[in-house]
Homo-oligomer: A and B are copies of this chain.
Amino acid sequence: MSVRRSMPSIEAVAREAGVSTATAGRALGGYGSVSGKSREAVLAAAERLGYRPNSLARSMITGLTHTLGVLVPDIENPFFSRALRGIADAAHERGWEVLLVNTDEDLSLERKALGVLTERRVDGLVVAPTDAADRDALQGVIEAGIPVVLLDRRVPGVEADTVGIDNRAAARDATERLLALGHRTIALLTGGDEKLRPKLARPGLRGVERLAATTVGARAAGYRDALLDAGIEPRPELVSAEGFRREDAAAATTRLLGLDDPPTAILALDSLLALGVLQALRRLGLRCPADVSLIAFDDADWAEAISPPLSVVAQPVYELGKEAGRLLLDRVQGGDRRVTHRRLPTRFIERESAAPRA
């Protein structure tokens, strides 16, 4: 193995070319003015020595690292990996790179990561916050002068740009479609947050408004809206919040279908949960959609390929990421601008997993 040899500096290039470091810098960096002769000499010298500029030193001077920090709860989740792709593409489009941190839905990790990225002097941050996001830490970063764009989830009290969908309207639409098919007993599989269930039952507006602050909450609110509009009283026991994993969803489904008045349709808030539903149905010997209809959020790549093909609420995930990246870079490069909240449209894709009630 070769010894780690230090790369040639601009000074070495300058010496080799017989000019000053200032001139070498100008020739290599493309700023200022250099004579053709000097430029050629410098470029040739750089080529000969295998010179590579040190972007750390450059960043120290210019104050720009050309780096975007990205914080996601779980890179393995297809939603985030696709969004990340969008962010990265937006970054590369304009010559930025992406420093990625997985927060693992862990609040203390998220806070720690914000600190690390601050020390690295990233030019901006795209954050998909953990559900109980650290408001103060985020606001602190913003006040330190690092622009932030929030992806997918909002954090009340943080003055940052936001990119997401209208979760409440999307859930309402999906629920209405099930209602239109004649279903009257519709279960909601949320995955998260135990606290949702009692809130759903509470009639006051306050409860729902507070509910709508998180993504899951907003979707639950939309579900509730649709039911109430159809004159159906939401039943807390039809709302499950028993974990995000597939097995959790399978267990929840089994529980729901064991109720006295079991649901004839299920709305699952993400595609992994939908997998759990299908798995449970298969174990119980029930068919979809003949016995139970199913609509899920997110158009996973397998949604069209399985049987039955899954009817889904598709989010423009890639575009969400790309838009977040662009918004952030606009703020990094451009000047100030008022905080904007961008909502991208969802699309319902009708396949075969939701059918008229038997």
Residues of A within 8 A of B (CB): 1-7, 50, 52-57, 59-60, 63, 65, 67, 74-76, 78, 81-82, 84-85, 88-89, 92, 97-102, 115-116, 118-121, 142-145, 159, 246, 272, 275-276, 278-279, 282, 300-302, 304-307, 336-339
| B residues in contact with A76, CB < 8 Å | 78, 81-82, 85
| B residues in contact with A119, CB < 8 Å | 52-55
Most chain B CB atoms below 10 A, which of A54, A56, A144: A56
| Interface CB pairs A-B, < 8 A, 10 | A7-B144, A52-B118, A56-B65, A76-B85, A81-B81, A84-B100, A92-B102, A97-B120, A98-B99, A99-B99
* Cβ-defined contact, B75 with A84, below 8 A: yes
Closest to A144 in B: B7
* Cβ-defined contact, B50 with A144, below 8 A: yes
Cα distance, A115 to B51, chains bound together (Å): 11
Closest to A86 in B: B76
* Cβ-defined contact, B120 with A56, below 8 A: yes
Further contacts, 13 of them, CB under 8 A, given A54-B121, A97-B116, A276-B305: A7-B145, A52-B144, A54-B60, A55-B120, A56-B59, A56-B60, A56-B121, A57-B60, A60-B60, A74-B85, A88-B101, A99-B100, A282-B307
* Cβ-defined contact, A301 with B102, below 8 A: no
| B residues in contact with A54, CB < 8 Å | 60, 119, 121
* Cβ-defined contact, B275 with A302, below 8 A: yes
Q: Select which of B75, B82, B246 is within 8 A of A305 by beta carbon.
A: B246
Cα distance, A12 to B63, chains bound together (Å): 18
Cα distance, A120 to B306, chains bound together (Å): 44
Q: Select which of B6, B78, B307 is within 8 A of A307 by beta carbon.
A: B307
Within the complex, what minimum Cβ distance (angstroms) separates A117 from chain B?
8
Cα distance, A2 to B279, chains bound together (Å): 51
Within the complex, what minimum Cβ distance (angstroms) separates A279 from chain B?
4
| B residues in contact with A336, CB < 8 Å | 1
Cα distance, A307 to B307, chains bound together (Å): 7
| B residues in contact with A307, CB < 8 Å | 278, 282, 306-307
Within the complex, what minimum Cβ distance (angstroms) separates A355 from chain B?
17
* Cβ-defined contact, B115 with A102, below 8 A: no
Within the complex, what minimum Cβ distance (angstroms) separates A265 from chain B?
19
Cα distance, A124 to B222, chains bound together (Å): 48
* Cβ-defined contact, B102 with A88, below 8 A: yes
The 7 closest A-B pairs by CB, nearest first: A275-B305, A4-B145, A81-B81, A1-B336, A279-B305, A306-B306, A302-B302
Closest to A58 in B: B119
